[in-house]
Chain A
């Protein structure tokens, strides 16, 4: 048949009409749209049985109770534990994003690793646990056999809890006194407690019951102390149950939340505290009952040699009158006087210190002493709403370590940092001194370094010096779960489980009033070939044998923990925590274990004179004013974790665009100062300090004192994952470590700086 044009067209039209009328095109259109609704590359979360596991968050020293929602064998959400004594259901953003640490495969260390590239380059090869343990054991045996047992040292995040104590015990049995913890305000607080009250205890703040909080730059709602607990206390105050006065040069969130913000020249906080004391004393507003009956060194006194020593009263009245303090601090005399009056007139006043989160540095001792003296003057020591001392948890009662000759000899060697020696008799750990000692000495006092629960390369001041010091250490063993800066610097990594995969006891969080133990529990099975650090220690001890092995008579860490916690275990398993709610702070008659059995303004026999404890000097800032006209201070934010843990992606997402823009950090500067420097919002600038330089962008902020610039802690990571690494500047690269003249602790709070247009 010949197909003419006409029939061809009819046919075509027929086919078209037929197709359109058939279900085919409609079905296709529908199918395509269904496909767009369930693209194969969009994950579909598996469903399953829902259950909750209670545990304790270990991402900061806060000790919050958490409950983890599980679907089948997946953990899907971390929530605050209702009714928990620390956080009663609240939880912070870092805790909430905990699962991104667990499931963040890109930041985790999955198997034991051995370094193959250069230090810090991050090239590792996978090795088995057997290989890893035997390699570390061999190294330790070798060092021990050369009589250098004391040259094995350990940096730990804390010295509390069984894991830290097992590490310490390991060093003891091995023969080294060189155990270190990372600096925090607790060092200074505990030292102040020891000097004034003669006890080794933890400091606690009864913030829930205080009605007037005088904060010397403490970031009450920015992560100071146990963060969630402090948030809840803050909310009580906002309900009218208390007032807060915040003293700091920058309008922090805490300052904005407070009833009064008093900007102060940074670094002069101690002088202000003494000035307030002088007003209180001059106007005779202090708690006479306490000061007259339970305090020593308030009035002038005679020492053993019969020489008259100046007491606190004369010291502050003469040296720190409001006129002089006004000049030092830049705060009006009238403000100082009225502040002192409001402080004493409150029924439960409380003075606190420790700048920002109080976790990056120990602080100046004189500042903590002066703040402590304010508390003593109003008689709130161990009182409701005041500052308490509570005994350190004593549940770890392991048999004394049996030491062989090598250990006996090694443990008697002086500590590298000279802590506890004649120079620094009252300090326990002075890690801040170590990089300097390593960098200046010819020999290597550290042959092997363990790093556990800490990220010193990132978190210690003067990153460059720290790295240089680490370069001198021949062998670094990392125990981190994450490929952080220090892990990247290790020679071998024996990775710990992530906190949601392991058991661990978390003793009394910073500043909490009751003896408390939180229990971290394995919420899910380990994702990778990692081991609980406790078990790793046992394996190392076993490998070394002898008395070292004998010091660890447990089959595994879980058994050790259960035995150690003995009768508390059931409560811990059930509730996730144990608390001694009955504990009341000792009354004034029994509280003080000093020579005078009183609260000592001047630790008789311990301190040279009162000025050495309280005296204010303004010379703690590195750099000269001519070359560095500005002062750089750090600030902490809940949205930027700056310690051992780096921000997970969710937390990074919460970082404000006035803090980080792309990969650039913004430095806060007063518009007036910026104008003088010819800088405008968002502009690029070069920031230089005596320690380092960095490229930053400028954020104009009216809330910062002219002449001061502020940079957040927690950025500038060079490790972790793409969500965190390579963004912003690490504050520690710009700041040096300044030693407190009395304690030897790190007392850095800022540094001189220069900002130039880039």
Chain B
């Protein structure tokens, strides 16, 4: 098996989100909910009990009127690579529920294997993981729109953004059926990328120079969240505003320049 894989370079799917373009409209959140059968309940205003695989944070520069500035920051799962695939969550899961896929770089989650210990949630510094505190309930009629490619979760398990992995499988099956080995860039896009009305999200193989993300991630304005923790995330952000870039990580008072890792 290993020999066969050798001549296909491992992919590293990732995302570049342009925060200059992002308007925080929430389309990515809803596209994700609709694609991934995310449940909802009567009150979703407690954001610590609200399953949003992709959550939008509102950042402020902390200055008073009229110097105030705000920026929205969409946060999917970062699909951290850590060192050699040791994402913070992957190595802690006691039951091998969550795994770093070396072929795609996607951090997976097997809901039917998860028994809900929530160690992965404790491990994730991005709060990208969500627990099903309740049984998911779709009001009468709404179960009709459920997507058969994504299994609805049950109470008591952890779920998170999968970079719409089922879409990758569909694209791969299609490519295979057509006798192609490779999935084209446009064939595999996440639901949030596809929906974003501002075109702020770009998705693709970070290892592939032909993919748009390859170049975008090298922008001098690109940064990742909490790089200094060594999580090695695969979601990049771009902002032309320094205060926004500085909000991506923690710095000591004497660290004037942002350290590039």
Chains A and B touch (C-beta atoms under 8 A apart)? yes
Q: Please report A residues at the B interface, Cβ cutoff 8 Å.
A: 36-39, 41-48, 71, 74-80, 87, 89-93, 96-97, 99-100, 102-106, 108, 221-222, 227-228, 231-232, 234-235, 238-239, 251, 253, 256-257, 261, 263, 527, 638-639, 649-658, 660-663, 670-672, 702-706, 721-723
In the A-B complex, the 4 residue pairs with the smallest Cβ-Cβ separation, listed nearest first, are A105-B141, A90-B197, A45-B146, A654-B26
Query: Which B residues touch A44, using CB under 8 A?
Result: 151-152
Query: Which A residues touch B197, using CB under 8 A?
Result: 80, 87, 90-92, 227-228, 231-232
Please determine whether A92 and B52 come into contact, CB atoms closer than 8 angstroms: no
Q: How far is the CB of B146 from chain A (nearest CB, A)?
A: 4
Which chain B residues numbered 184 to 207 have a C-beta less than 8 Å away from chain A?
194-200
Please determine whether A37 and B154 come into contact, CB atoms closer than 8 angstroms: yes
Please determine whether A251 and B44 come into contact, CB atoms closer than 8 angstroms: no
Query: Which B residues touch A39, using CB under 8 A?
Result: 135, 154-155
Please determine whether A263 and B65 come into contact, CB atoms closer than 8 angstroms: yes
> 25 A–B contact pairs at CB < 8 A?
A36-B154, A37-B112, A42-B152, A42-B153, A46-B148, A74-B145, A76-B147, A79-B31, A79-B195, A91-B27, A91-B31, A97-B30, A97-B34, A99-B145, A104-B139, A104-B141, A106-B141, A231-B198, A234-B198, A253-B23, A253-B25, A256-B69, A649-B40, A655-B45, A662-B43
Please determine whether B198 and A253 come into contact, CB atoms closer than 8 angstroms: no
Please determine whether A703 and B25 come into contact, CB atoms closer than 8 angstroms: no
- Closest B residue to A663 using CB positions: B43
Query: Which B residues touch A704, using CB under 8 A?
Result: 65
With A41-B135, A77-B35 as given contacts, are A662 and B25 in contact (CB-CB < 8 Å)?
no
Q: Which of A41, A100, A662, A703 contacts B145 (CB 8 A)?
A: A100
Which chain B residues numbered 1 to 57 have a C-beta less than 8 Å away from chain A?
18, 20-21, 23-27, 29-31, 33-35, 37, 40, 42-47, 50, 52, 56
Please determine whether A96 and B34 come into contact, CB atoms closer than 8 angstroms: yes
Please determine whether A653 and B198 come into contact, CB atoms closer than 8 angstroms: no
Alpha-carbon gap, A230 to B50, bound state (A):
30
Query: Which B residues touch A651, using CB under 8 A?
Result: 26, 30
Q: How far is the CB of A569 from chain B (nearest CB, A)?
A: 29
- Closest B residue to A47 using CB positions: B148
- Closest A residue to B145 using CB positions: A99
Q: How far is the CB of A75 from chain B (nearest CB, A)?
A: 6
Q: Is B140 an interface residue (CB 8 A)?
A: yes
Q: How far is the CB of B164 from chain A (nearest CB, A)?
A: 11
Query: Which B residues touch A527, using CB under 8 A?
Result: 141
Please determine whether A221 and B34 come into contact, CB atoms closer than 8 angstroms: no
Q: How far is the CB of B37 from chain A (nearest CB, A)?
A: 7
Query: Which B residues touch A45, using CB under 8 A?
Result: 37, 143, 146-148, 152
Please determine whether A653 and B50 come into contact, CB atoms closer than 8 angstroms: yes
Query: Which B residues touch A221, using CB under 8 A?
Result: 23, 25, 198
Alpha-carbon gap, A45 to B147, bound state (A):
6
Please determine whether B198 and A638 come into contact, CB atoms closer than 8 angstroms: no
Q: How far is the CB of A82 from chain B (nearest CB, A)?
A: 9
Please determine whether B70 and A103 come into contact, CB atoms closer than 8 angstroms: no
Q: Which of A46, A93, A657 contacts B47 (CB 8 A)?
A: A657
Q: Is B144 an interface residue (CB 8 A)?
A: yes
Q: How far is the CB of A85 from chain B (nearest CB, A)?
A: 15
Q: Which of B25, B44, B143, B151 contacts A93 (CB 8 A)?
A: B25
Q: Please report B residues at the A interface, Cβ cutoff 8 Å.
A: 18, 20-21, 23-27, 29-31, 33-35, 37, 40, 42-47, 50, 52, 56, 58, 60, 62-66, 68-72, 112, 135-136, 138-148, 151-155, 194-200
- Closest B residue to A524 using CB positions: B144
A-B contact count (CB 8 A): 204
Please determine whether B42 and A93 come into contact, CB atoms closer than 8 angstroms: no
Alpha-carbon gap, A704 to B154, bound state (A):
43
Q: How far is the CB of A88 from chain B (nearest CB, A)?
A: 9
With A104-B141, A671-B64 as given contacts, are A653 and B25 in contact (CB-CB < 8 Å)?
no
Alpha-carbon gap, A259 to B1, bound state (A):
54
Please determine whether B152 and A77 come into contact, CB atoms closer than 8 angstroms: no
**Max count, chain A CB within 10 A of own CB: residue among B18, B35, B145:** B145
Please determine whether B34 and A702 come into contact, CB atoms closer than 8 angstroms: no
Alpha-carbon gap, A238 to B17, bound state (A):
13
Q: How far is the CB of B151 from chain A (nearest CB, A)?
A: 8
Name B's interface SS: loop
Q: A654-B30, A723-B40 are in contact. List 6 more A-B contacts (CB 8 A).
A: A71-B147, A76-B146, A90-B199, A93-B26, A232-B197, A653-B40
Q: How far is the CB of A666 from chain B (nearest CB, A)?
A: 10
Please determine whether B25 and A639 come into contact, CB atoms closer than 8 angstroms: yes
Please determine whether A235 and B198 come into contact, CB atoms closer than 8 angstroms: yes
With A251-B68, A656-B58 as given contacts, are A93 and B142 in contact (CB-CB < 8 Å)?
no
Query: Which A residues touch B66, using CB under 8 A?
Result: 251, 261, 263, 705
Please determine whether B26 and A639 come into contact, CB atoms closer than 8 angstroms: yes
- Closest B residue to A721 using CB positions: B139
Alpha-carbon gap, A672 to B24, bound state (A):
26
Query: Which B residues touch A706, using CB under 8 A?
Result: 65
Please determine whether B139 and A78 come into contact, CB atoms closer than 8 angstroms: no
Query: Which B residues touch A103, using CB under 8 A?
Result: 141-142, 144-145
Q: Which of A41, A104, A234 contacts B21 (CB 8 A)?
A: A234
Alpha-carbon gap, A723 to B39, bound state (A):
13
Alpha-carbon gap, A48 to B112, bound state (A):
23
Please determine whether A93 and B21 come into contact, CB atoms closer than 8 angstroms: no
Q: How far is the CB of A590 from chain B (nearest CB, A)?
A: 36
Query: Which B residues touch A239, using CB under 8 A?
Result: 21
Query: Which A residues touch B140, using CB under 8 A?
Result: 105-106
- Closest A residue to B23 using CB positions: A221
With A103-B141, A263-B66, A638-B26 as given contacts, are A661 and B148 in contact (CB-CB < 8 Å)?
no
Alpha-carbon gap, A41 to B153, bound state (A):
11
Please determine whether A702 and B63 come into contact, CB atoms closer than 8 angstroms: yes
Query: Which A residues touch B33, using CB under 8 A?
Result: 97, 650, 653
Q: How far is the CB of B27 from chain A (nearest CB, A)?
A: 5
- Closest B residue to A88 using CB positions: B199
Query: Which A residues touch B135, using CB under 8 A?
Result: 39, 41-42
**Max count, chain B CB within 10 A of own CB: residue among A77, A78, A654:** A654
Please determine whether A256 and B70 come into contact, CB atoms closer than 8 angstroms: yes
Please determine whether B146 and A43 come into contact, CB atoms closer than 8 angstroms: yes
Query: Which B residues touch A37, using CB under 8 A?
Result: 112, 154
Q: How far is the CB of A741 from chain B (nearest CB, A)?
A: 32
Alpha-carbon gap, A231 to B195, bound state (A):
12
Please determine whether B147 and A638 come into contact, CB atoms closer than 8 angstroms: no
Alpha-carbon gap, A291 to B249, bound state (A):
54
Alpha-carbon gap, A78 to B31, bound state (A):
9
Query: Which A residues touch B138, using CB under 8 A?
Result: 43
Alpha-carbon gap, A239 to B71, bound state (A):
17
Please determine whether B139 and A105 come into contact, CB atoms closer than 8 angstroms: yes
Q: How far is the CB of B53 from chain A (nearest CB, A)?
A: 12
- Closest A residue to B170 using CB positions: A50
Please determine whether A77 and B199 come into contact, CB atoms closer than 8 angstroms: no
- Closest A residue to B27 using CB positions: A93
Q: Which of A91, A257, A657 contacts B46 (CB 8 A)?
A: A657
- Closest B residue to A102 using CB positions: B145
Alpha-carbon gap, A639 to B33, bound state (A):
14
Q: How far is the CB of B201 from chain A (nearest CB, A)?
A: 11
Alpha-carbon gap, A527 to B89, bound state (A):
44
Query: Which B residues touch A99, using CB under 8 A?
Result: 34, 145
Query: Which B residues touch A658, using CB under 8 A?
Result: 58
**Max count, chain A CB within 10 A of own CB: residue among B24, B65, B197:** B197
